[in-house]
Amino acid sequence: MRRFVVGAAACILALWLLFCLDDAAPQADSPAREALYVLTLLCPSLCFWFLIWITRSLHADPRVARGVLGWTIAAAVLICASAVVPASAQNAGPGLASMAPATYASGLVLGLATFVRWPTVRRYILGNRLLGFLAVGAAASFALGAWAATSLFRNKITLGLAGSVALDLFYLLTVLLIILALLNESRVQAGAAIIALGVHALNLVGPTEVFFPLWLTGIFFWPFVILSSLALEATLLRTFLKPSAVLGSGEASGAIHSQASYS
């Protein structure tokens, strides 16, 4: 797990530096400023693929399950720590002001990477024959629900915070299902995931903007950015690479789980 430790530290440092540069950059519109902003948005998802890639050969280590559990706990600690950064740090310069978002994004990336690296989960991702259809069903359900709500009720509907959060979570869960299905070894599942991604993209231009403000200003901004980036990047990776080239062998993952259970 040493490579994962070094890789995670490098990702956290890279995210913090980019956040610092983005905060310190002049706010005036310029090609360089816009390029830096786009790079800052893409960096968390690129860090995810980097962590997955450098640990793709860990399937031979029976201790990987315990290591992944430790990093899952570390990810949770980072996410919680981002919420307790003093508000006064926001006015203390780019270095301190960038600590909260950088820590939060780092925690999300570590959490996703360790989730995918968990032996049982990785084996499920590679070999399951329902992920793509689940993604299509979730995307279609979301689209049909939005259409029904706007067709049956002519007046605007106020969902409140709880309803908006529920919609956000369902939307993000659907994107996560699409990403996992794209990493499946079956081309059928990957094809279904691409269909689901297209259906889900239509929801962005549909009448569901009622809960978008939470993404733009709240805690769901970075999950939305990271998962959306991962979905597009997973589509490209699935086009040019086999899932086993990214995640490793599914059979080996099962072997780890068996060994770790008895260690």
Of the listed ranges 30-34, 159-163, 174-178, 252-256, the least confidently predicted one is 252-256
Of 159, 63, 162, which is closest to residue 117 (Cα–Cα)? 63
> Does the structure show a pLDDT above 80 at 250?
no
Query: Cβ–Cβ contacts within 10 Å for residue 233, how many?
Result: 17
Q: Structure pTM?
A: 0.81
Q: Which residue has the higher pLDDT, 20 or 203?
A: 20
Q: What is the pLDDT of residues 221-241, one digit of tens each?
A: 899 999 999 999 999 988 887
Q: Which helix (H) or strand (E) holds 230?
A: helix 221-240
The ranges assigned to domains in the chain are 1-117, 125-249
Distance, CA of 13 to CA of 24 (rounded, Å):
16
> Does the structure show a pLDDT above 50 at 263?
no
Q: What is the pLDDT of residues 77-115, one digit of tens each?
A: 777 766 665 554 555 566 667 777 888 888 889 888 888
pLDDT in the model for residue 254: 39
Quote the DSSP letter at residue 83.
Answer: T
Distance, CA of 3 to CA of 52 (rounded, Å):
11
pLDDT in the model for residue 260: 33
Residues 6 or more apart whose CB falls under 8 angstroms from that of 83 comprise 100, 104
pLDDT in the model for residue 137: 92
Of 245, 234, 257, 111, which is closest to residue 181 (Cα–Cα)? 234
**pLDDT band per the 50, 70, 90 thresholds, residue 1:** low
